[in-house]
Every structure is written in structure tokens, then in C-alpha cells.
């Protein structure tokens, strides 16, 4: 870009002037920096994958895919399988999304659809955003000291009378899947609520007015017009919430019970991949580190699949709603 097309410019007293060499330089430097930053980001992800994959390789060769379907984790006999971890990760995250997603969306509707005066809504929003700033370990302690004692009577009642249903198959002693999922739900709620609010706010006001104008009631407007129109954004809120739930570590390590078993029961102790990694890494010997790297790779893969599937579904729903082919 040696030629400077604007050089034949205006008179010196004009408000504007042609870009000086110096400005060209700034522009190009900035562009180069931005490109470098973007490239670094991709290189970083690739490097992490390569590094983890490289360290996991011996374990992958030793345990193959059997690793994914075995539920034995024995350091002494060097027999490893992470089916309970995969199962627990997906089960707890789905459950958390079910609870957190419902409440997150409800909160978003409540705060954006004129139920509250704007100032009060602002305060509410701040409080919910603050939830996101609470450290994971505090949530874990809160779970141990508040959630578990609170749900124990109800859980044990359910187990006593409805124990034949697999979901209530065991009694809740302390740590278990349900308390972990409840705390996880609260942790994903701010993410879901914040993005859903943005989605609902970005629906043009005229759409809402038109619906009212056609004689729709408030709830008809919300459920049949606003939510479907914002569905794309709400959906991505759910996907992001799910992603957060998958990777959550400390609170889960404290609440899930870390039991190496696959159970449908909501009250049984379970295991998640992130909790497994966190609790075993510090003292792992070389043979176990490979295995943990393999487990980390699996966790990465799950997160990736969820995110890609989420984006795919998102574009699909958006097309359906906006009517484009």
C-alpha cells in the first residue's frame, strides 16, 4: 500500500486531512497485532490439545476405548476406566441444566417483560450477576452445610415410599448426585439468566406491540411471541450453561461423593471427570498421570461435542424461526 490515494486532499484549513504516514503505520500495526492475537489463540488451543494428547498417548495405546466403558479405577492393579466419570459428568450437568435452565429463563422473563420497575429490575440483575462471582469452594461448603441437610428428609421419604422407581432407588446419606446438581444449577443460573435477558431484550419492541395489538394477553405474548423469537439466544444460553456445568470442579468434588459407580439413583454418590482429575492429580504417579491426561482429553472432547452440537442446533432453530431456507 505504497500509494496513498487520499494524498491529493483538501486545503490545510479543512476540518479533515488525508491520513498521515503515522496513521497508516498505526493502522497496520494494529491490524498485525490483532491477527497475531487471533493466531496465537488458535495455536494455544492446538498446543494444549497436542500436549495433553501427547501425554495421554501411552494410556490410549494401553487401554484403548475400553477405558471409556470400564468402571474399574484401581491404581494398584493399574486397571483404569472412567465410565462412572463420563456418566456422572453428563447426568449431573443435564440435571443442573434442567433446574438452572428453567429458573434462569424464568428470571430472564421476569426481569425483561415489565414485571418490575426498571430500577428494581436493575438491582435484581446485579444480585444475580453477583452469584457468578462466588467462588466454587464456597458453593461447595454451602452445599455440604445447607443443601444436603435441607433435602435429606424429603429424599429419604421419596426413597422410602417410591424406592421402586430407579431415580429414588437409594437413600441419601450425604454427598450425592442431587445435592451436586442443585448447587451446579445455581452456578449455571447467572450464565443462563444473563444471556437469556440479552436475547429477550434484543427482540424488537414493535414485535411485542404488534402482538398486543392483535389482542394477545401478556402470557400469550411472552410464551408465544417473545420466547420463540428469542429462542436462538436462549438456546445458546443453555449450551453455555451446560458447558460451564461440565467443567465445574471444586464444588462437585466436595458434593458428588466421588464413588466409582454408575447409578440412576439421584441420591447415590457419583463421580465426575473434573472432580476425578482434581482429586487424583496431586499425588498421581507417572502411570496414573497418563490415565488422567486421557480422562482430560475425554472431558475436552465432550465439551467440544456439546458446543458444536449446540451451535449446529442454534443455526437450525434460527432458520426455522426466521423462516429462511
Partner 1 sequence: MKRFVRAPLLCTALLAFAAFVHDPGARAQDMRLIGSGASFPAPIYAAWFKTFSKGANGVIVDYQSKGSGAGIQDFINHTVDFAASDAAMTDEEIAKVKDGVVLIPITAGTIVLAYNLPDVAQLKLPHDVYPDIFLGKITKWNDPRITAANPGAKLPDMPITVVRRSDASGTSFVFTKHLSAVSPAFAKQVGFGTTVEWPASDKIVGAPKNDGVTATIKQTPGAIGYIEYGYAKLTKTPNALLQNKAGKYVEADEKTGAAALAAAKLGPDLRGWVDDPDGADAYPIATFTWLLFYKQQDVKKADVLRKLVDFCASKGQAMADSLGYIPLPAPVVAKVKSAANEIK
CB of 208 to partner 1, least distance (A): 46
Between 112 and 263, CB nearer to partner 1: 263
Q: Check: CB of residue 10 under 8 Å from CB of residue 2.
A: no
* C-alpha cell, 94: 443435564
Using DSSP, state whether 23 is helix, strand or coil.
Answer: helix
Q: Which of 280, 303, 307, 310 binds partner 1 (CB under 8 A)?
A: 280
Choices 36-44, 112-120, 266-274, 317-325 (CB under 8 A): range interacting with partner 1: 266-274
**Comparison of 191 and 260: residue with beta carbon closer to partner 1:** 260
Cβ density class 161-180: b for 16+ within 10 Å, e for less:
eeeeeebbbbbbeebbbbbb
Query: Which of 89, 112, 170, 229 forms a contact with partner 1 (CB under 8 A)?
Result: 170
Interface pattern 137-166 for partner 1 (x via CB under 8 A): ----x--xx--xx-----------------
Q: Which residue has the cell 429463563?
A: 105
Question: Quick one: angle between helices 83-112 and 231-247, nearest 10?
Answer: 140
Q: Which stretch binds partner 1 (CB under 8 A): 117-125, 194-202, 223-231, 272-280?
A: 272-280
Decide: is 264 part of the binding site for partner 1 (CB under 8 A).
Answer: no
Q: 316-321 — which CB contacts under 8 Å span 24+ positions?
A: 317/231, 317/232, 317/235, 318/231, 318/232, 321/228, 321/229, 321/231, 321/232
Instruction: Tell whether residue 136 is a contact of partner 1 (CB under 8 A).
Output: no
CA distance 213 to 99: 34
53-72: which residues touch partner 1 (CB under 8 A)?
72
- Nearer residue to partner 1 within complex by CB, 32 or 38: 32
CB closer to partner 1 out of 5 and 285? 285
CA-CA distances (angstroms) from residue 203 to 25, 212, 234, 282, 315?
41, 14, 12, 49, 17
Binding footprint of partner 1 on the chain (CB under 8 A): 72-76, 141, 144-145, 148-149, 170-171, 173-176, 253-254, 257-261, 263, 265, 267-269, 275, 278-280, 282-285
Amino acid at each position: 500500500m505504497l500509494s496513498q490515494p487520499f494524498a491529493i486532499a483538501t486545503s490545510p484549513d479543512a476540518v479533515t486531512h488525508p491520513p498521515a504516514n503515522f496513521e497508516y503505520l498505526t493502522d497496520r500495526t494494529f491490524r498485525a497485532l490483532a491477527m497475531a492475537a487471533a493466531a496465537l489463540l488458535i495455536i494455544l488451543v492446538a498446543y494444549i490439545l497436542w500436549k495433553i494428547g501427547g501425554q495421554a498417548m501411552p494410556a490410549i495405546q494401553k487401554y484403548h476405548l475400553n477405558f471409556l466403558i470400564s468402571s474399574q479405577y484401581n491404581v494398584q492393579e493399574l486397571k483404569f476406566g472412567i465410565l462412572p466419570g463420563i456418566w456422572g459428568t453428563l447426568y449431573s450437568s443435564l440435571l443442573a441444566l434442567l433446574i438452572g435452565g428453567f429458573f434462569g429463563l424464568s428470571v430472564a422473563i421476569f426481569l425483561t417483560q415489565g414485571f418490575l420497575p426498571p430500577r428494581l429490575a436493575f438491582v435484581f440483575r446485579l444480585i444475580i450477576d453477583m452469584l457468578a462471582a462466588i467462588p466454587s469452594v464456597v458453593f461447595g461448603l454451602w452445599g455440604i452445610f445447607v443443601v444436603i441437610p435441607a433435602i435429606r428428609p424429603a429424599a429419604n421419604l421419596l426413597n422410602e415410599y417410591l424406592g421402586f422407581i430407579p431415580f429414588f432407588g437409594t437413600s441419601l446419606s450425604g454427598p450425592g448426585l442431587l445435592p451436586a446438581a442443585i448447587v451446579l444449577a445455581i452456578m449455571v443460573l447467572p450464565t443462563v439468566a444473563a444471556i437469556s435477558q440479552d436475547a429477550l431484550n434484543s427482540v424488537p419492541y414493535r414485535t411485542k406491540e404488534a402482538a398486543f395489538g392483535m389482542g394477545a394477553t401478556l402470557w400469550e405474548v411472552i410464551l408465544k411471541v417473545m420466547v420463540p423469537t428469542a429462542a436462538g439466544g436462549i438456546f445458546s444460553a443453555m449450551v453455555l450453561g451446560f458447558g460451564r456445568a461440565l467443567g465445574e470442579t471444586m464444588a462437585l468434588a466436595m458434593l458428588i461423593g466421588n464413588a466409582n459407580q454408575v447409578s440412576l439413583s439421584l441420591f447415590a454418590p457419583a463421580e465426575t471427570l473434573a472432580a476425578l482429575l482434581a482429586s487424583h492429580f496431586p499425588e498421581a504417579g507417572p502411570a496414573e498421570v497418563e490415565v488422567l491426561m486421557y480422562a482430560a482429553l475425554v472431558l475436552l472432547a465432550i465439551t467440544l461435542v456439546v458446543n458444536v452440537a449446540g451451535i449446529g442446533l442454534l443455526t437450525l432453530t434460527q432458520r426455522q424461526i426466521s423462516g429462511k431456507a
